[in-house]
Amino acid sequence: MNFSISDDHQMLKDSAQVFLDKQVSLKPLLTPGATVRDAGYAANWAKIAEMGWPGLLIPEDYGGAGLSCIDLVMIVEELGRTLAPSPFLGTLLGTLAVMKGGDATQKSRVLPRIALGEIALALAAAEADGREDGPDRQTRASQHGGWRITGRKAFVIDAAEAQMLVVTARTDASAARRLFLVDAGQAGVQVAIEPWRDITRQVCTVTLDDAEAEPLDAAGDALWPWVRDRALLALSAENAAGLRHVLDVTADYARQRVAFGRPIGAYQAIKHGLADMLGQAECARTATLYAAWALSEENPRGPLAAAMAKAYSSDAYVEAAHRSIQIFGAIGFTWEMPNHLYLKRARANAELFGAPREHRSRVIDLARAELAA
């Protein structure tokens, strides 16, 4: 039993912090009309690839670092703290699917190229209503010699940058979802970048018209929940660290900004709000670290831990980002301040891969099963 972060993990986090503080600037986004591409989306990615982060989880046999979900969280926290624009998240989600669902040939073909930073990936799971699950998914895969996919996927993170897509689709034979690897460069794949409010991130719609695809079948039905839980973990890590950053800058402002002769942080309305934010930041981080541990150990509580972390951290981050704007006052409401970038990231993350309430409903099912056992 040791709930503390090891020195190795802390060192990894510290090095990521030093690198990103130097590399990332959100300044270009503080001009209205700017997009993620104006804020170093491609340049950051090149540097991130040099750091070896795309291969963080990839086993050493395939050219990666073979590290765990706990290591991943150390990195993603720093990416979330700085809102670093780059196709890291999309690539991570696609990589997870290939790692778990690919056969040996697929893995040897794809994973080393990811680890070298040669290709970016994206995971196309949701459809127009934003949900990944449900019986009414439209995207279909069918087999005429090889597999072909037709349909439309929505809210796909980093798809326009990706050379390869992982696409979920139903097959004619069964209602079960399967995941497929799709070459994004082929004629049957169209990617449109959407006007996503979180301008630190690229979010796209992907239209597939009889696109060639190959199934990722090595893990069977276990693949999707496995990938989903790790997607929830990554978003939770972004949320927890973003929340902590919002707290730090807001507390700093409250110590300096003077009104009625005292720093505004002296007034209890402000002070107590910041104390609440600190409580939320501690809770969000603890829930995230627990999920990281549970998933890295393949502990039976992993899915519950991931659902709890995503539900809690999403709501807490939104609340803190909103409160931060209130404490900054009217200046915090302007485009030229970074506060809105955090509010928008928080709001967007809350909706991706299932809203908090959806995960809370799952938490009840999982908790009931646990209590009954």
Partner 1 sequence: MDFELPAEDDPRRIEVRAWFAERPRPTGRELAEAGYAAPHWPKPWGLAADAELQLIIDEEIKRAGVNPPNLVNPVAVNNCAQSLLTHGTDAQRERFLTPALAGEEIWCMLFSEPAGGSDLGALRTTARREGDHYVVNGQKIWTSLAHKAKISVLVARTDPSAAKHAGLSQFLIDMASPGVTVRPIIDLSGHENEYNEVFLEDVIVPADRRLGQEGEGWAISMRQLQTERVALSKPGAIWGAGPTARELVAGLDQIGALDDPLVRDEAAEIYIEGEILRLLAYRSLSDRMNAKASGPEGAVRKMLAAPHGQRIVDLAKRVQGPRGMLAGETAFPLTPGRKGIYDDWDYAFWFSPAVTLGVGTQEILKNVVGERMLGLPRELDPTAKGPWNESQTAKRAEKTA
Provide the minimum distance between the beta carbon of 216 and partner 1 in the complex, in angstroms, as a whole number: 30
Judged by CB, which is closer to partner 1: 226, or 253?
253
The single-letter code of the amino acid at 264 is: I
Provide the minimum distance between the beta carbon of 53 and partner 1 in the complex, in angstroms, as a whole number: 20
Question: What element of type H or E holds 212?
Answer: strand 203-215
Q: Nearest Cα to 274, choosing from 289, 263, 260?
A: 263
Report how far residue 268's alpha carbon sits from residue 247's, in angstroms, rounded to the nearest whole number: 16
Report how far residue 139's alpha carbon sits from residue 153's, in angstroms, rounded to the nearest whole number: 8
Judged by CB, which is closer to partner 1: 148, or 244?
244
Judged by CB, which is closer to partner 1: 179, or 233?
233
Judged by CB, which is closer to partner 1: 208, or 284?
284
Judged by CB, which is closer to partner 1: 26, or 281?
281
Provide the minimum distance between the beta carbon of 333 and partner 1 in the complex, in angstroms, as a whole number: 23
CB within 8 A of 159, min separation 6: which ones? 90, 122, 124, 165, 184, 191, 202, 204, 206
Q: Are 153 and 167 spatial neighbours (Cβ–Cβ below 8 Å)?
A: yes
Provide the minimum distance between the beta carbon of 64 and partner 1 in the complex, in angstroms, as a whole number: 21
Provide the pairing of β-strand 203-215 with 177-183. Answer: antiparallel
Residue 154 CA, chain-centre distance (Å), reads: 16
Q: Nearest Cα to 28, choosing from 37, 16, 19, 20?
A: 37
Judged by CB, which is closer to partner 1: 190, or 286?
286
Chain residues binding partner 1 by CB under 8 A are 1-6, 9, 70, 247, 251, 254-255, 262-263, 265-266, 268, 270-272, 274-276, 278-279, 282-283, 286-287, 289-290, 292-294, 308, 311-312, 357, 360-361, 363-364, 367-368, 371
Judged by CB, which is closer to partner 1: 109, or 368?
368
Provide the minimum distance between the beta carbon of 26 and partner 1 in the complex, in angstroms, as a whole number: 24
Q: Are 120 and 86 spatial neighbours (Cβ–Cβ below 8 Å)?
A: no
**Got the DSSP string for 241-255?**
HHHHHHHHHHHHHHH
The number of residues in the chain equals 373
Provide the minimum distance between the beta carbon of 248 and partner 1 in the complex, in angstroms, as a whole number: 9
Dig out the tokens for 299 from the structure. 């502990």
Provide the minimum distance between the beta carbon of 346 and partner 1 in the complex, in angstroms, as a whole number: 18
